Structure 1
Amino acid sequence: MRVPFIKMHGLGNDFVVLDARAQELPDLGQALVRNLADRFTGIGCDQLILLQPSETADFRMRIYNHDGGEVGACGNATRAVALLHGSEARIETAGGALLASPTDDGASVDMGPPHFDWDAIPLAYPMDTLSMPVGWEMLENPGAVNVGNPHVVLFVDDTDAVPLDRIGPEIENDPLFPERVNVNVATIVSPSHIRLRVWERGAGLTRACGTGACATAVIAMRRRLVDREVTVTLPGGDLQIGWSEGENIRMTGPASESFRGSFEWDDYA
């Protein structure tokens, strides 16, 4: 069976999008996801995105990381599929319903509310999630939040000086996080600007992570380090994040289509 795909990206965080709203597809297996995501022998991507019909929203978006595991949310992918859809859309995800509106060069997304309770993240045992009494080498007292998927946020003087490719996997797989965790290392530049690098659960170092930008901004706001509207600069570019206590997170940023093609399903299954 020959299957069309769309290659897209948000700030360099790239996706293979499969649209099963019109053409029904077989169940995805981890092997197929890993093979399509392979940058040497497949199409290559950080995440594979599957669009399906939904009974509760305009469509359903399922998100699979490079390692084949399914996750609940991806902010950059949400902007990309909103751009693809072409109009305001309510999108069903495993992490909750999202409302996205296309802009001139991307989309603005209502990412829903952040969750701070230890068992909502989840953590292995109760603790204060705003300033956790734990650390890894030079990284100490992180904050934690679930924004559709679990994030831990660590503030440092220079995010570029942190060997995130080495420490990231250690933190991701720490027993403190029973579902593993996304690792954000951030530097406060000013009350309106944060610099951020992300080790993404199941994907590794990434040029951009929309939920990571949301998580980092929200923790920084709760600690009164920044204003309620901030620019988060990742290696791939800037995202605008806004949030107030008790409200939903708003993320705005670019997304674009790279190219389209097709592949034989059985070659990758």
Structure 2
Amino acid sequence: MGDNPGMNWNFTKMHGAGNDFVVLDGVRQTIDMTPERARALGDRHFGIGADQILLVERATRPDADFRYRIFNSDGSEVEHCGNGARCFVRFVHEQGLSDRNPLRAEIATGILVLDEGDDEQVTVEMGSTRFDPAALPFDTAGLASQRQGEDTLWELELDTPAGVPAKVLLSAVAISNPHAVQVVDNVDTAPVAVQGPLIETHPRFARRVNAGFMQVVDRHNIRLRVFERGA
């Protein structure tokens, strides 16, 4: 494929909640994934096209069944993807790599427990959520803040064009991977395309961040749009 002639691999195209993935079996075929190759696969014009590349490998730790690696379409390797994890366990079962259920997947930050039910629904045990800027990491030194319940909102200034709010209030949320979430009135009209990349690449996020736009529907439901890091 292009400048990567060694990429003669079998793959499966999958999606979860609109996130689309190229899924590769690194157990039964040898795959040397590099940032350049991940970018080539993820390219929607000259490659296959995907938000992320998911790689199934043999586990490197005794308490895991497989290793689960995730590469964004920009070539960067990241810690975790929940929608990808659902596709991961379905792929492992459908490809006959294992019939074990639940499945324990090794990721960069620990172990995920994945359970595929009889109704074909997949449950992912995501681990504990931390509202801790240091876990992202997010440099909050000198930023104005305000308490909201048990959470702290941080005021971040963005270099936005005229007509788009330049200041946003963000909550730091770590669920194996980093999220900066703001509350908006309506996710359909939120300036995701403008503010999203500015938040993702803001220098206060040393490893970049997923920018979330959350609309509270009621006490039990929310709507969420995410500008994904590296995608």
Please classify the TM superposition score into its range, dividing by the shorter chain length: 0.7 to 0.9
Partner in structure 2 of residue 243 of structure 1? none
Matched to 2:218, the amino acid is S
Cα distance between partner residues in 1 of 2:169 and 2:75: 31
List runs of 5+ in structure 2 lacking aligned partners.
Answer: 1-5, 94-100, 146-150, 159-164
2:98 maps to which residue? none
What code does the residue aligned with 2:123 have?
S
Q: Take 1:91 and 1:82, find their aligned partners in 2: how far apart are those partners?
A: 9
Describe the SS at the equivalent of 1:41.
Answer: coil
Q: Deviations over 1:57-104 (max 9, x none)?
A: 000010000100000000001011112223310000113210000122
Q: 1:117 aligns with which of 125, 132, 149?
A: 132
Counterparts of 1:130 and 1:10, CA distance in 2: 31
Corresponding residue of 2:92: 85
TM-score normalised by the chain length of structure 1: 0.71
Look at both structures and tell me which one has the larger radius of gyration over its CA atoms. 2
- Of residues 213, 223, 228, the one that matches 1:195 is 223
- Partner residue, 2:25: 19
- Measured on the aligned residues, the alpha-carbon RMSD in Å equals 1.7
Given candidates 113, 124, 128, the residue that maps to 1:99 is 113
Structure showing greater relative contact order (alpha-carbon pairs closer than 8 Å, 6 or more residues apart): 1
CA drift of 1:138 comes to 5.9
List gaps (5 residues or longer) in structure 1.
204-269
Contact 2:112/2:126 (CA < 8 Å) preserved in 1? yes
- After superposition, residues 142-181 of structure 1 pair within 5 angstroms as 142-181=170-209
Alignment of 1:216-227 (within 5 A): none
SS at the partner of 1:43? coil
The answer as to whether partners of 1:37 and 1:43 remain within 8 angstroms in 2 is yes
Q: Structure 1 residues 77 and 31, CA, compared in 2 at 3 Å: closer, same or farther?
A: same
Contact 2:140 2:154 in 1 (8 A): no
Counterpart pick for 2:16 among 10, 17, 25? 10
Residue 189 (structure 1) shift? 0.8
CA distance in 1, matches of 2:40, 2:88: 22
Contact 2:66 2:105 in 1 (8 A): yes
Q: Secondary structure at the match of 2:155?
A: coil
Aligned AA for 2:196?
G
Q: Equivalent residue of 1:198, what SS? A: strand
1:156 and 1:187 in contact (8 A); partners too: yes
Query: Which of structure 1's runs of 4+ aligned residues deviate more than 6 A?
Result: none
Instruction: Tell me the CA shift for residue 135 of structure 1.
Output: 4.5
Match of 2:161 in 1: none
Aligned to 1:235: none
Match of 2:152 among 104, 115, 130: 130
In structure 1, C-alpha distance between the alignment counterparts of 2:91 and 2:34, rounded to whole Å: 25
Give the number of aligned pairs: 202
Contact 1:99 1:110 in 2 (8 A): yes
Q: Which secondary structure does the structure 2 equivalent of 1:134 belong to? A: strand
